[in-house]
Amino acid sequence: MHFPRYIILLMGVLAASLHTAGAQVPDEAAIRARVQEYVAAFNRGDASAAASIYAVDGTHTYALGFTHRGRAAIEQGLSELLAGPWKGARLAITTDAIRFLTRAIAVEEESFVVSGLRSDTGAELPPVKGLCVDILQKQGGLWFAAAVQCMVPPPTAGPPVK
If you count them, how many residues does the chain have?
A: 162
143 touches 137 (CB < 8 A)? yes
Among 25-29, 76-80, 118-122, which stretch is predicted with the lowest mean pLDDT?
118-122
- For the segment 90-100, what is each residue's pLDDT rounded down to a tens digit? 999 999 999 99
Nearest to 114 by CA among 92, 145, 82, 87: 92
15 pLDDT above the threshold of 60: no
- What pLDDT sits at residue 64? 86
Strands lying side by side in the sheet with 142-151: 67-69, 54-61, 142-151, 128-139, 105-115, 90-100
CATH topology of domain 23-151: Nuclear Transport Factor 2; Chain: A, (3.10.450)
3-state helix, strand, coil in the chain (%, to 5): 35, 35, 30
More confident residue, 59 or 119: 59
Percent of the chain with pLDDT over 90: 73
Segment 49-53 mean pLDDT: 98
Distance CA 101, CA 126 (A): 36
Enumerate the domain spans of the chain.
23-151
Pairing of strands 67-69, 54-61: antiparallel
Is 50 exceeded by the pLDDT of residue 7? no
pLDDT at 158: 63
Q: What is the mean pLDDT of residues 69-73?
A: 98
**In the predicted structure, residue 74 carries a pLDDT above the cut 70:** yes
**Closest CA relative to residue 93, chosen from 75, 107, 114, 66:** 114
Residue 135 has pLDDT above 60, yes or no: yes
**Phi, psi at 134, each rounded to 5°:** -115, 135
Comparing C-alpha atoms, which of 37, 36, 32, 20 is closest to residue 104?
20
Among candidate residues 89, 110, 111, 112, the one with its CA nearest the CA of residue 43: 89
- The average confidence (pLDDT) of the chain is 87
Residue 16's pLDDT is 42
Q: Average pLDDT in the 66-81 region?
A: 97
Query: Is the predicted pLDDT of residue 20 greater than 60, yes or no?
Result: no
Residue 10: the pLDDT is: 38
Nearest to 116 by CA among 148, 82, 79: 82
